Structure formats: C-alpha cells, structure tokens
Amino acid sequence: MIRDITIGQYYPAKSILHRLDPRVKLTATVLYLISLFLFKNLSGYLVATVFLIVIIRLSKVPFKFIMRGMRPVIMLLMITLLFNLFLIKEGEVIFSAWIFKITEGGLRNAVLMAVRLIYLITGSSLMTFTTTPNELTDGLESLLKPLGRIHVPVHEIAMMMSIALRFIPILLEETDKIMKAQIARGADLESGNILQKAKSMIPILVPLFVSAFRRANDLAMAMEARCYRGGEGRTKMNPLRYTGRDKAAYAIVILYVAGVVAVGRYVPLHIWIF
Amino acid sequence: MSIRIEHLNYIYSQGTAYEKQALKDICLEIPHGEFVGIIGHTGSGKSTLIQHLNGLIKATDGTICYNGENIYGERFNMKELRNQVGLVFQYPEHQLFEVDVLSDVCFGPKNQGFSREECEKRAREALKLVGLKEKYYQSSPFELSGGQKRRAAIAGVLAMQPKVLILDEPTAGLDPKGRDEILEQIAYLHKETGITVILVSHSMEDIARYADRIIVMNQGQVMYNSTPKEVFAHYKELEEVGLAAPQVTYIMHELAEKGLAVDIGATTVREAADSIMEVLGR
C-alpha cells in the first residue's frame, strides 16, 4: 500500500537520460522549472509540451508510471484549479449560477496553471526517475561546493541527504513489517473515528521510532569504525566528469529555455479564449 | 483445522520494473496438530508463503482453504482467521511498544475483545509458557535482554491462543542456549496443547530435531515435501541449492561408505548415536 508512492523514486532503465551527469540533470531541471514561468502565450505551452514529450520518450520511463506519481498531488491540483476558476474575475462571464461565476480569465488561468503544475511535477519527477539518490546527492554536493567557501557545510548536508534518501525504502519496509505484525496480533488500523485511528497508530509508531534510532546508532557506529570524519580531504571512488554528451545536453537545455521564452513571449497564438 | 493451499502464485510489485514472482504454483496441505518445518535459502519465498496463511498478503492467483473454507471467499471472517492462525515474525521483538511487558502481551487478547481480567490471565499463561520470569512482567520491554524480548514477543502471539502457530526464524540472532530453550519451549507447547506448529528456519539441525515433516522451498517453489529422513536422503540436491543436511547425515553416509552398516536415515544426533552403538555393540 505504501509502495505506490512514486514521487522521488528511481526507475531503473537504460536510457541516455539515465547516463547523463547528475549535475546536468539538476541544472536542467531548475532551468526548466524557471522557464515554465517565463511565458504567457499558448505557443510557449506548445513548445514546452513538445519538449516534455521528447524527454519522456528519451527517458524510457513508461508513461503509466509517471502518471502514477501524479496521484498524490491530485488534491493540490484540484484546489488550485477551483480557486483560480472561481476567484479570478476577468473578461466575459461564461457561466453563472447562484454565487458562482466563471469568467474567461478565470477559466484560462485555472487551466494554464494546472498544466503548469503538471509540467512542473512531471519534469522534476523525471529527474528522480532517471537519477539514483546517490548520483543526485553527488551532483548536488558538487554543484554547491562554492558555498563551502562561506562556511556552509556542503559535504555534511549532502551526506545527511543521501542517508535520509537511503533510509526511505528501509523505513517503509520496516513500517510495512510492523503494521503486518500488529495486524497479525489483531490490531485494527482502519475503523473508528480520527481519535481512535490516531490511537491505533501508537503500536506502529513506537516500534518504528525505536528502530529508526537503533539504525541511526548502528550507522553512526559503522561510519566511525571506518574512520569517517567529514568531507575534508575526502576523495570519491567515481568522481563526476563531464563528457561530450553532457555538454551537448547543456547546450540543448539552454537552447530550449531561450526558445520557449522567445516563442512564448513574442509569437502570439490564440485559440478560443486561450 | 487443516490448511490447504492450491496453486498459489504471488507476484511482488506487479506491473512495475520491480516485478518479481515470489511464489510459483504452491500446493500444500497442513493437517491439524502437525509440526511442520519450512526451510529454504534467503529469498526462496518462505516468509512470503507464511504471510499468506493468515491473510496478510493476498495471493495473485490460487486459493487457500482454512478448515475447508476459502479465505478469499466474500463472507470469510479474516479477523477470526488471524485469531486462529498466530504469526510470529522474524525479530518479533521489534514490534514491542507498550510501557511494560504484561500490557504488551495483553495487546493481542485485548484486540480479540476479552475483558481486562481475561486478557491478563491469558497474558500470564503465555508468559509462563515462554518461560519469562515473573519479575520482568512490570518492566519496560525495551530494558530486557535480546532473548527475553524475543520471549515476550512470542508470548504476545501465544496469548491470543491460536490453533496454528507460525514462527518465522524464531531463533535468528540468539546464542545457542537461547536458541535451544526457545525451540524446546515450542516443542513443549506443541506436545501439551496439540496446536499446529509451522517453523520456518534455515537450520537443518533445528528442524530435523522437531519437525514431523519438512517442506523445502527453492526459488518460490516447493522442492521437497516429506519426512526429515526422506528429505535429507537428497542431501546432494540440497547442497546444490545452497542448503545442507544436518551434520549427522554426512557422518552416517561416510561411515556407511567405509563399510559400517549404520542407518543412513538418522537425522538427529540421538538416533545416529543409537545406530552406531547398535552396530558396534553387535
């Protein structure tokens, strides 16, 4: 049941996107996310859609799998959609009933905002689908390295992040196991009101916390036993190195951002109210 | 009180990149009162199999009948099944959560809907069965030693007074003394109350000593399903899948090869010793 969450999950496949340097993917994702907010015209959305479809095809991650990651954010999407739909009053009224009024501007904003959010989530989850958590933190550490000069503990942050990410599946599995063990002892996790439900979580949360602390303790011990003492002077087994492929990817992404902003701003395209 | 498994299949994470068939066409019958041992390599599907028996995992395909009733049937009472089929997970001490041992053991019976007094009565009985001393009843379960925690956790399932007791590697991580004590207590329980015991382990010695029947699992399939004697006769095949017969099997086979007419089917040290003495004393 908990296994259904796909956001932030890695999807193993052999694609050009999987092989790219994590720094490229991180930078590209950030640029892509920013670019989504730099245009207004429908033409920009078209360019972004084409780009996104090409990237999804390149990543070899099944479309169904990406869509499954959308499920947890549907609520958020619906709320934004409804708020935009009913609260923005611009242009002609299309529909009106009782106190509800939908205007052209409201509809346009609601739809475009929803599309933007979906593209945002798809884009960033594509990065995590194609990058292992280890690569991700490696890339982040290397990108943030300049901050070390102003005494930001970059290595420690990266290490904490990779440990946290590494432990998500372990703790999920542990939760699953503890839940099963308590269900086997007759625990009822589903019925009852909110208070009873919260109370029924105690037999799961207490052992979970105990085991999380035990694991943290064991891990700290194991790291110390291997002489871990922070990032200073530490070398990597597989240091990140840019290849021709990565440079080409940088070029393509910059070209895309420039293109989508230029098209989205200066090429007018109107269909119905959009 | 029998359990019948028919053509059971289970696939993990079906429809994703992590899809894996954990169980393949399992057919088994476990009659009431039997002491069954399940052995298999890590990842052979034994833990997955036993979680089907009290409905924690729903089979992808196939049926399980408890007392002739299909547990996937629409009107089947899953809660009642869990009351009757007690499952002790691997490292059960990781599920302890209450402030003291006695209340933790009471958790099961309390969920079954018994009164406070009845819960405590059952908890005390269960704790006595696993041999935990009375002075520990009021202490925090987190203060106990590893072996004592394990006993308290097993008592937590026993207090529900199941008709079938399934134990997943109950001796993992215990020292030899703790291991023998826990196994002895399980054997005693089996003899005294006549409940069905299903013991999952990868120690051949342990299983050979107690089980009436051994089920060997390999890559999600049942490889052998028969008495210890017959299973260990296949010791060469067992080695090929990363398991081994008890040490006495090897000794007896070697003695037999050297021309001593001992019983090569002996599975426990006791039997082996008797057989050797008999041959030598002649």
pLDDT value for B1: 61
Q: DSSP strand E in B31-136: where?
A: 35-40, 61-66, 69-70, 85-88
| Inter-residue contact B168 to B90 (CB < 8 Å) | yes
ipTM of the complex: 0.86
Q: How many Cβ atoms from other residues are within 10 Å of residue B123's Cβ?
A: 25
Among candidates B13, B96, B111 on the partner chain, residue whose Cβ is nearest the Cβ of A187: B111
Best CA proximity match to B200, nearest among B191, B190, B211, B192: B211
Nearest-Cα distance to chain A for B95, in Å, is: 6
Judge residue A236's burial from the number of C-beta atoms within 10 Å of its C-beta, 0-12 exposed, 13-18 middle, 19 or more buried. exposed
* C-alpha pair distances (Å), A55 with each of A45, A47, A128, A264, B21: 15, 12, 13, 19, 31
C-alpha B111/C-alpha B114 separation (Å) is 8
Conformation bin of residue B48: beta by default, left when phi > 0, alpha when psi is -120 to 50: alpha
CA B152, CA B145: separation in Å to the nearest integer?
10
Q: How far is A139 from chain B (nearest CA, A)?
A: 25
Nearest to B82 among A184, A210, A211 (CB): A184
Cβ-based neighbours of B261, under 8 Å, separated by 6 or more = B279
Write out chain A residues lying below 8 Å of B16, CB-based: 65
Give the span between the Cα atoms of A186 and B85, in whole angstroms: 11
| Residue B102 in tokens | 């006695």
Chain B residues near residue A170 by CB distance under 8 angstroms: none
Bridge pairing between strands B221-226 and B69-70: unpaired
Extract the tokens encoding B221. 């399939």
Query: Which residue has tokens 């009351």?
Result: B83
Tens digits of residue pLDDT in A121-131: 899 889 988 99
**B12 or A96, greater pLDDT:** B12
The DSSP letter of residue A58 is H
Tally C-beta pairs within 8 A across A and B.
Answer: 61
Of B55, B68, B58, B67, the closest CA to residue B10 belongs to: B58
DSSP string, B176-190: HHHHHHHHHHHHHHH
- Predicted confidence pLDDT, tens digits, chain B (282 residues): 689 999 999 998 777 667 888 999 999 999 999 999 999 888 888 999 999 998 898 999 999 999 888 998 888 888 889 999 999 999 988 889 999 999 999 999 999 999 999 999 999 999 998 888 999 999 999 899 888 999 999 999 999 999 999 999 998 888 888 888 889 989 998 998 889 999 998 788 888 889 999 999 999 999 999 998 888 888 888 888 888 888 888 888 888 888 888 888 888 888 888 888 888 886
Option in B79, B94, B160 nearest A207 (CB): B94
A90 has pLDDT over 80: no
A1 or A128, which is more confident: A128
Are B107 and A3 in contact (CB < 8 Å)? no
| A56-59: long-range pairs with CB below 8 Å, 24+ | A56/A122, A56/A126, A58/A15, A58/A16, A58/A17, A59/A13, A59/A15, A59/A17, A59/A18, A59/A126, A59/A129, A59/A130
How does residue A72 score in pLDDT terms, banded at 50, 70 and 90? confident
Domain ranges of chain B: 246-282
pLDDT tens string A131-159: 988 888 889 889 998 998 898 888 888 88
